[in-house]
Amino acid sequence: MKATIRDVAKLAGVSVATVSRVMNQNGYVNSETEQKVNRAMKQLQYVPNQMARGLAGKRTKTIALILPDISNPFFPGLARGVEDIAQNNGYTVILCNSDDLGVKERSYIEVLKKKYVDGIIFATNNLVREDLERLEEAQIPFVMLDRAPDMKSGCVITVDNFGGAKAAVEHLLDAGCKKIAHIYGPKELVTAKERLEGFEEVARKQPWYTPTLLVPGDFTIDGGAKAVEALLRNHPDVDGIFAGNDLMAVGALKALNRRGISVPGEVAVCGFDGVNLTEITQPELSTIAQPIYQIGELAAKKLIERIDQSSSHYETVELGVSLIVRDSTKKS
Amino acid sequence: MKATIRDVAKLAGVSVATVSRVMNQNGYVNSETEQKVNRAMKQLQYVPNQMARGLAGKRTKTIALILPDISNPFFPGLARGVEDIAQNNGYTVILCNSDDLGVKERSYIEVLKKKYVDGIIFATNNLVREDLERLEEAQIPFVMLDRAPDMKSGCVITVDNFGGAKAAVEHLLDAGCKKIAHIYGPKELVTAKERLEGFEEVARKQPWYTPTLLVPGDFTIDGGAKAVEALLRNHPDVDGIFAGNDLMAVGALKALNRRGISVPGEVAVCGFDGVNLTEITQPELSTIAQPIYQIGELAAKKLIERIDQSSSHYETVELGVSLIVRDSTKKS
DNA sequence: AATCGACATGTAACCGGTTACTATAAAAAT
DNA sequence: ATTTTTATAGTAACCGGTTACATGTCGATT
């Protein structure tokens, strides 16, 4: 029914090895023979069975992307970047949502091993060193985002959270803010921590600085809103807020709105990440934009590079972020 | 290095067939033998090779989800629904972005055939009957969203676009609107067409109805904004807008905002889809919500059902939509 | 003339499972 | 007592590729 390599070989009057050589463009093949084989393949509408290829050749042309939750606005763009590059290189992407649960991440890794994926991209936070070491042993190339556990192998892609946070605060100062608060994300996350440190780096030197200007959110809209409520209780005179991510900035905006506090008039707000959401709020949100799509692209490129050359040296790349000024910080 | 079924067989002192039987729980196996095998598997940390299984058994435990663009806010929720169900059933999901380009869709189908995915979910619009027929021939189960090309096989999941649109208009009327416009999406898309028809069904009976109240958007934020600009030129007195999807509703909101027209005071706005975005605009958007996540879940369930029972009868399921009233339509 | 390397192609083992078929003993049916 | 069924387990072919190794030709080198 469905043509196999042996059918092609028979029709072309050659051996299966020759057909394989033609397909993979390796080894010596006379160009006339090649023509014959190609014709036979076309005639039979031959489609090589990836499964068999994988079994024999140990390559599945499949990579996996493990992320906390594709519903989180940060990830679709990233996933798209990964997928585009993958597609261009003949790879296919398996999507895995871990909800940032260590168990799920680990169980996914097991499944992915069974499926012999060629590599894995992690945009997730709960893997411990041990897990990564297991990957190393299994010889599965991987790329991690936002996390730099120093190891012998693996590639880590990060962005300049510290610098970005500093830029955000400086921008708020430039905009004329006289008392700036920071809503920070879960301290277990490096990104959240670095942004907080960036904030402090600049804020500490300001006359108005006091530790109670640091309030915890949890990287969610709701968390951001609640943080603002809490903040206003202690500091009704705050006139600038730097949220650790855009979702919390949105929450902050909502809370301020409910309270009838005008943005940017009374309080300026700046987010971090640069997700699309920031363009649809009212006012539109200023933010420190990460090159989300490009991070995805880069992660995929690096991973494929590693797969193709089966190299695994440790490597880390830091990307820049950029301040995008929109209405939420235009105090005029 | 890595344990194979033969290693397990040897260690357990049985044949590979027996090991296979234990793994797949089929055929007769003495419970003591089973214990031995299980012990051996544990001891060797045996992980069956999915690739080999697929080759021999023709099951890859992998499904594919082809959608236009995961970056479009509508799809992450859907993808999540699909992935959750897939995961619960031991399936893995390959994500494919087609940009609604027929060529890409088709090329993906080819790749997926090579990879022997067990089934495909299409949330995309450019497949022609011929493509589906090819899938039928190839015996690949599939589920389609939003599109009901009647065929012999396949499962189609739709929502009540027509009814939803009617509900939207009626809601705007209830809110006191005296002249309602509709921004419709690409007419090639059934969803857009049905919503437009729903709008007309109710609007046509109204004294203020005139065809120029129908303006084209293209299901994007920008398209929605431009549509409003155009609309206001002809109908400065419009006081209600039903956008064919939420993105256009957001665009409408932005355009109205720029013009200094208050929402809902002067113009009420209602969207369609129920994406998360609608909760972060100012004012929050009323919308006709589709059960997005559940659609994803259902699609995956139906697909897996078909795979497991290798049934392929044609089937169509229509889900309801629900009006969510928020500030954008609260006149008074 | 003998040797060597580049070119060309075939044979068959192998990747790691599944499963059809066969064999055998014990239990059940006749 | 004989036939059938049921329970248990092994052998080996097969899925559809890849590739190591063997074989052979032919012009170039020594």
Q: Tokens 């890595």 map to which residue?
A: B2
Query: Closest nucleotide (CA of A17 to C1')?
Result: C10
User: Closest Cα of chain A to B221: distance in Å?
Assistant: 9
Mean pLDDT in chain B?
93
d(C-alpha B24, C-alpha A65), whole Å = 29
Q: Which of A70, A73, A253 shows the shortest C-beta gap to B80? A: A70
Contact partners, residue B137, CB within 8 Å, separation at least 6:
none
Residue B21: CB less than 7 A from any atom in strand C: yes
pLDDT tens track for B191-215: 999 999 999 999 999 999 999 999 9
Split at pLDDT 50, 70, 90, the class of A148 is low
Kindly report the bases of strand C lying within 7 A of a protein C-beta atom.
7-21
Q: What is the DSSP string of A249-262?
A: HHHHHHHHHHTT--
Residue numbers in B near A61 (CB within 8 A): 115
Q: Select the residue of B87, B96, B114 nearest A48 (Cβ to Cβ).
A: B114
Sign of the torsion angle spanned by Cα atoms B30, B32, B38, B44: negative
- Residue in A76, A113, A276 nearest the CB of B47: A113
Q: How far is CA B62 from the centre of its chain?
A: 18
pLDDT of B92 above 90: yes
**For residue A311, pLDDT beyond 90:** no
Cα(B122)–Cα(B126) distance, rounded to whole angstroms?
10
Chains A, B: CB contacts under 8 A, how many?
A: 127
Tens digit of each residue's pLDDT (9 = 90 or more) over A191-217:
999 999 999 999 999 999 999 999 999
Of the pLDDT bands very low, low, confident and very high (cuts 50, 70, 90), residue A151 is confident
B62-67 and A315-319 beta bridge pairing? unpaired
Backbone angles phi, psi at A97, to 5 degrees: -100, 120
Please report, rounded to whole angstroms, the spatial distance between the CA atom of protein residue A28 and the C1' atom of nucleotide C5: 14
- For A92-154, give the DSSP string: EEEEEE-TT-HHHHHHHHHHHHHTT-SEEEE--S---HHHHHHHHHTT--EEEES-----SB-
One-letter amino acid at A140 equals: I
Distance of residue A210 Cα from the nearest chain B Cα, in angstroms: 31
B51 to A49: CB separation less than 8 angstroms, yes or no: no
Distance from the first to the final alpha carbon of chain A: 73
Of B98, B134, B59, which Cα lies nearest the Cα of B304?
Answer: B59
pLDDT 10s digits, B314-323? 899 999 999 9
The CA–C1' separation of B29 and D4, in angstroms, is 21
Q: What is the pLDDT of residues A252-280, one digit of tens each?
A: 999 999 999 999 999 999 999 999 999 99
pLDDT 10s digits, B132-154: 888 887 888 999 998 766 677 88
Length of chain A: 332
Which residues of B are less than 8 Å from A110 in CB distance? 47
* Rounded CA separation B247/B249 (Å): 5
Check whether A2 has a pLDDT greater than 90: no
Domains for chain A: give ranges and CATH numbers: 5-48 (1.10.260.40), 62-160+292-321 (3.40.50.2300), 161-289+323-329 (3.40.50.2300)
Q: How far is the CA of A279 from the C1' of D15 (A)?
A: 53
Closest CA to B274 of B68, B78, B66: B78
Name the residue closest to D9, CA to C1': B18
CA/C1' separation B24–C21 (Å): 19
